[in-house]
Amino acid sequence: MAMTRMFCLVCLTLLAVTLSFTGAALGQEEPDAPETRVESDESNESGPSAAFDEDLALGVYGTAWAGAYPGVGGGGRLRWEPFDMLGLDLFAESLIVDNPGGGLRHDHSIGFNLYIPIELTPSFRIRPLFGFCAVFSMIEPAQDGAPRADDVLFGIHGGAGVEWSPQRYFSVFLDVQATGYLGHDRSSHGWTGEVSEEYGTFAVVQASLGAQVHFSL
């Protein structure tokens, strides 16, 4: 009888010690759990949507005008998205523009867009946009030394764009917008250029196709 009680006492003691060590082990494993979740989150960020999660982007693009001033050229832009539903583009571009009077016309634009990024899928989104720009427009007559016909145009534009991100930190985009300009009427011939004293309004439709790299500081 005494041996039975001794056996039971030993078993209970071993059980208590086992439970004690098990509880201590579980307590030590709990701090590792957040690290496991962080690793899972980092693995999720490697998907296509991670490009649009970055706050900044640098892009280059080809562009074309149609309307009052047909032209082709290229540009670059810096993008900043400080909020989930608001972004800012700063851009600069240069175009060679068709000039019926002859000579060389080249236009150089600087400006900005405000846009709303709307994500339709993890790798595809649209963005309505609106902004302003200034265009330094220069007409050089064909004859060397002839008077030029340069002007500064002020524009307001609105449109929409689509973006697709095939992989981490990279996306391609297409923007289409309509722009109205305020500037002087101008003409040029082989031997001279002329700038009117009166202001006029002009309109073009612009399409831009390019690629951009996304990053954060």
Across the chain, how many H-helices and E-strands are there? 3, 9
The pLDDT score that the predictor gives to residue 150 is: 85
Q: What are phi and psi of 54, to 5 degrees?
A: -75, 150
- Cβ–Cβ < 8 Å for 129, 206: no
Least confident of 78-82, 126-130, 136-140: 136-140
Report, in this order, helix, strand and coil percent for the chain, each rounded to 5: 20, 60, 20
Map tokens 């307590």 to a residue. 27
Please state the rounded mean pLDDT for residues 51-69.
Answer: 94
The pLDDT score that the predictor gives to residue 20 is: 54
Strands of 6-117, DSSP E: 56-67, 71-83, 86-97, 104-115
Q: Is the pLDDT of residue 42 over 90?
A: no
- Cβ–Cβ < 8 Å for 141, 164: no
Secondary structure letter of residue 148 according to DSSP: P
**pTM of the full structure:** 0.73
Q: Is the pLDDT of residue 131 over 60?
A: yes
Q: Is the pLDDT of residue 204 over 90?
A: yes
**Predicted confidence band of residue 62 (pLDDT cuts 50, 70, 90):** very high
Residues with Cβ within 8 Å of residue 169, at least 6 apart in sequence: 50, 51, 54, 213, 214, 215
Q: Is the pLDDT of residue 46 over 90?
A: no
